[in-house]
Amino acid sequence: MPSPTKKMKKPWAWLCAAAALVVAASLVAFSQYVRLETTSPSAARAQAASTARTLSGGVDCREAKCVALTFDAGPSEHSARLLDILKEKDVPATFFLLGKRHIEKYPELVERMADEGHEVANHTWDHKRLTELEPDEIREEIERPNKAIERIVGRRPTLMRPPQGRTNDTVHDICRELGMSEILWSVTAKDYKTDDSELIEQRVLDQTDRDGIILLHDIYDGTVPAVPGIIDALKERGFVFVTVPQLLAPGKAEPGKVYR
């Protein structure tokens, strides 16, 4: 008769093997983010020639304490009010726009964003995780909004934000091919989890430092009402609001590179 120890051996071996697989999978997932090479705004500026001129707008982020407001996944029914606020506060922003149900639904807001001096950028067509797609599907997700935006404003975007920040070497290569740079963020209010405008504002203020790239979503009910307080408080702290290209100037975002 087999001993109890021998009876337990196989189940225990299976449990060990399963645990090892879980750990390995976790490490692979974790390594995607740990090993991701990103360039900071200050590094982008430093890489430019010291005599290079800044972008038009008169803000030199080598001297000023700059910060960039960015909004994902619009335009939406809240975007007109947001544009009113930004105009009243004299603040430029960068809009990473979705194609399906957004660009195609609100082309007049896309045009207004560009006309009022905001940076119009790409957040894919249908918000699919690019890291889970085949190369041709990735290319399609990026190119469709590029073409839609170009039809509306007369120029192609050069900046792209991957949904959920998920990216890899294949995405980098395709972005390089399409002349796109990837822009991540350093500040998030996680406004997709709450409609509490005061909480959204406080989260942004707690995290923002010089060269911050602030991620917000103008599709959620609590976000736009938080924007005036965010702007006023950061201005009181001496921050100057710029678009992402202005934040990098006199450097320029290079296709295939990731900035945060």
The catalytic site residues sit at 72, 217
d(CA 149, CA 138): 18
Q: Are 98 and 124 a contacting pair, CB within 8 Å?
A: yes
CA-angle at 83, arms to 199 and 145, nearest 5°: 100
Q: Which residue has the tokens 């678009």?
A: 243
Strands (DSSP E) along the chain, which ranges? 66-74, 94-97, 119-122, 159-160, 181-183, 187-188, 212-217, 240-242, 258-259
For residue 234, give both structure tokens: 């950061």
